[in-house]
Structure 1
Amino acid sequence: MEQIDKISYFILTKSIGLYINLMSYVFPEKAALLAYKYFTVPREGKLLPNAIPDILKEAEHEVLLHEDHSIQTYTWRGNEKKILLVHGWESNASRWEQFIKYLRKSKSTIIALDGPGQGLSSGIEFNIPQYAKHVNALVERFQPQYIIGHSMGGATCLYYHFKYNNPILQKMVILGAPSEFEILLSNYKKTISLNNKTFQLLTEKFTERFNLHPSEFSGKKFASTFNLKGLIAHDVDDDVVSFNEGKEIANAWKSAKFIETKGLGHSLHDEKLYQLINIFLFEE
């Protein structure tokens, strides 16, 4: 069954790429918009209000309005120590379920959000600059001392701190996060076999959309400017984000420590790792 799913996914992605490539010769702008859409619109991660996971039902719900977006937040009340959790691509706040159960032992207040176009938050498109705006809205509202991000959520945390540099944050934990946006784009190009013309148009679309060239979007460059304490964890068996990207972020971040794991994959769900994060946040 898994092999059939892989074959179906391969056929689908290559078909999309072929369609976009053919369109680029006749309607180049439409081809770029379509390529951008497939890169930024999550296929999974949305939640129905009447069918949310039990872990989220246990939290206090609050919707923050920011610009034209509504941001769904969840709070598990505790003491004055506050931790903000930032999930990744095609996910929502419930991905933290195992970790939340562990963190609640610390008696700290835990806050999580659904990213743009995911969970119960509004929107269709998921992108890091927009996500960082949502994170900033939560930091200003809840004033957390600690922030933890997984995968694209980790990349968002790096960009967020580089752009906003809110002094309330004391420590940051990054789990399985990509560093270089150009690598993400290059992998996308290979996955759906975009031709060079379409890929160039897509790159220009990103630069126009965010006023930032993909080559300038670098987690290791952002981290090299940080003074706050950091912890980066990455698994050698991560088949989504290269282990080397996590290592590069750690090498650039002078006040950060690096944890190498094995056998946890991209999700990094593990009680021993949770313990190490807990020590980093509350005992060091």
Structure 2
Amino acid sequence: MDLVVTAAGATVRGVAAVSPRWGATLAMPLFGSVAKPRPVRPDDEATMWRARRRTVRIAGVDRRGVDVDTYEWGGGARTVLLSHGWNSRASQFTPLIRELVAHGYRVVAFDAPAHGSSAGRRTYLVDWLDVFAALQQRYGAFDAMIGHSFGGLATLVGVAGGTDAARVITIAAPADADLLLSQFQGMLGYSDAVSARMRERFATRYFPGQPDPFAWLSSVRRPLPAEVPLLVIHDEGDRIVPYAEAGRIMSANAGGRLLATTGHGHNRILVADAVLDAVLEHLEVPSAARTSPASPGVRTATVLPAAAAGELISASVAA
């Protein structure tokens, strides 16, 4: 994979030396490309086999239509929607699915286009939003939406844009699409001139008619409705999405609660007991956050006042 990225970066940079616009034209299809789906891990297979499987059809980034695989567990009256990250799949939530079902929730998840078992080769955040809309039509209002990484950003954007969810939880989520474009530039190593053309093409390709799509794709510039309780979970050592992104999300969502972990990174955080406990607790909190006893590698945070937005106020520190 590194060799592929290196070769792609060299090609884009070579073309961009002649024309930054041509370089951006060449780089743009790569931005929405997804690696070959990872298989379901053996430990997750039993949970996935028990799911009630269906599909929803959405337009897809190419607007040609794509079928998305959906999964449902449990039969409770309260529905929780799970939104996986880039290059992942619904099965990444298996430990959380088991916990939620055991506590009486109906759990819904999906494999985004080009992910997991779903069709397609390319995708972007617009597909996550279309899936949210299709599942909202099927199930009605969600009691909660939980998103990991890219799926966390999609969740924030979706609820800020009108998806009906009583509570939101993000895990290792970026604060806006700008970070994703910056990371893509760093990966391919193209110039700022190409980056500027990329932003133009990105806006035109994915959000035609939007005067400023980067404001629309930002949890900082476009926060959640004030009545929606938010829990932000992030590991301080995350090497994929920097921990500072959690502070940016919190800075714009006064009254949110931040749970900082250590030693779990970007993906292992999904199976941490303290994280699962915090998620279940948040589902029962209508507004103000409560603190829980700390577990190893976890720092819990109280509700942050506006004056302290973006700063972690430690309620307890693991020994």
TM-score range, shorter chain: 0.7 to 0.9
**Which of 162, 173, 184 is the equivalent residue of 2:169?**
173
Number of matched pairs: 271
Report the counterpart of residue 72 of structure 2 in structure 1: 75
Question: 1-side partners of 2:107 and 2:224: how far apart?
Answer: 28
Q: Counterpart of 1:137 in structure 2: which amino acid?
A: A
Report the counterpart of residue 300 of structure 2 in structure 1: none
- Does the alignment pair 1:111 with 2:111? no
Check whether the contact 1:136–1:164 (CA below 8 A) recurs between aligned residues.
no
Q: Deviations over 1:148-185 (max 9, x none)?
A: 0000000000111122242xx11111100001322221
Q: Alpha-carbon deviation of 1:118? A: 0.9
Superposed CA RMSD in Å reads: 2.2
SS at match of 1:219: coil
Q: Alpha-carbon deviation of 1:88? A: 0.4
Question: 2-side partners of 1:142 and 1:239: how far apart?
Answer: 35
SS at match of 1:38: helix
Report the counterpart of residue 157 of structure 2 in structure 1: 159
Q: Alpha-carbon deviation of 1:226? A: 4.0
Check whether the contact 1:181–1:214 (CA below 8 A) recurs between aligned residues.
no
Q: Which moved more, 1:234-243 or 1:210-219?
A: 210-219
Q: Alpha-carbon deviation of 1:283? A: 5.3
Q: Counterpart of 1:135 in structure 2: which amino acid?
A: F
Structural mapping, 1:33-52, within 5 Å: 33-45=25-37
Which of structure 1's runs of 4+ aligned residues deviate more than 3 A? 24-31, 211-215
Question: 2-side partners of 1:283 and 1:197: how far apart?
Answer: 47
- Does the alignment pair 1:102 with 2:99? yes
Question: 1-side partners of 2:18 and 2:190: how far apart?
Answer: 15
Listed as ranges, the gaps of 5+ residues in structure 2 are 60-64, 287-319
Question: 2-side partners of 1:124 and 1:165: how far apart?
Answer: 26
- Does the alignment pair 1:259 with 2:259? yes
Question: 2-side partners of 1:162 and 1:195: how far apart?
Answer: 32
- Does the alignment pair 1:282 with 2:274? no
Structural mapping, 1:26-37, within 5 Å: 31-37=23-29
Q: Alpha-carbon deviation of 1:281? A: 0.3
SS at match of 1:75: strand
**Which is bigger in relative contact order (C-alpha 8 A, separation at least 6)?**
1
Report the counterpart of residue 64 of structure 1 in structure 2: 56
- Does the alignment pair 1:187 with 2:183? yes
Q: Counterpart of 1:110 in structure 2: which amino acid?
A: V
Q: Which moved more, 1:223-232 or 1:25-34?
A: 25-34
Question: 2-side partners of 1:118 and 1:183: how far apart?
Answer: 21
Question: 2-side partners of 1:47 and 1:73: how far apart?
Answer: 16
Question: 2-side partners of 1:22 and 1:64: how far apart?
Answer: 41
Check whether the contact 1:182–1:214 (CA below 8 A) recurs between aligned residues.
no
Q: Alpha-carbon deviation of 1:205? A: 0.8
Question: 2-side partners of 1:239 and 1:28: how far apart?
Answer: 30
- Does the alignment pair 1:149 with 2:141? no
Q: Alpha-carbon deviation of 1:95? A: 0.6
Question: 2-side partners of 1:61 and 1:182: how far apart?
Answer: 34
Listed as ranges, the gaps of 5+ residues in structure 1 are 1-7
Question: 1-side partners of 2:175 and 2:85: how far apart?
Answer: 14
SS at match of 1:222: coil
Q: Deviations over 1:223-269 (max 9, x none)?
A: 25443111110110101001111121122112321111111111212
**Which of 187, 193, 199 is the equivalent residue of 1:197?**
193
SS at match of 1:234: strand
Q: Alpha-carbon deviation of 1:43? A: 0.5
Q: Counterpart of 1:82 in structure 2: which amino acid?
A: T
Report the counterpart of residue 248 of structure 2 in structure 1: 248
Question: 2-side partners of 1:119 and 1:226: how far apart?
Answer: 34
Question: 2-side partners of 1:83 and 1:90: how far apart?
Answer: 22
Question: 1-side partners of 2:213 and 2:177: how far apart?
Answer: 6
Q: Deviations over 1:176-234 (max 9, x none)?
A: 00013222211211221112332222111101011354642312222254431111101
Check whether the contact 2:21–2:194 (CA below 8 A) recurs between aligned residues.
no
- State the TM-score, normalizing by the size of structure 2: 0.78
Higher helix share: 1
- State the TM-score, normalizing by the size of structure 1: 0.87
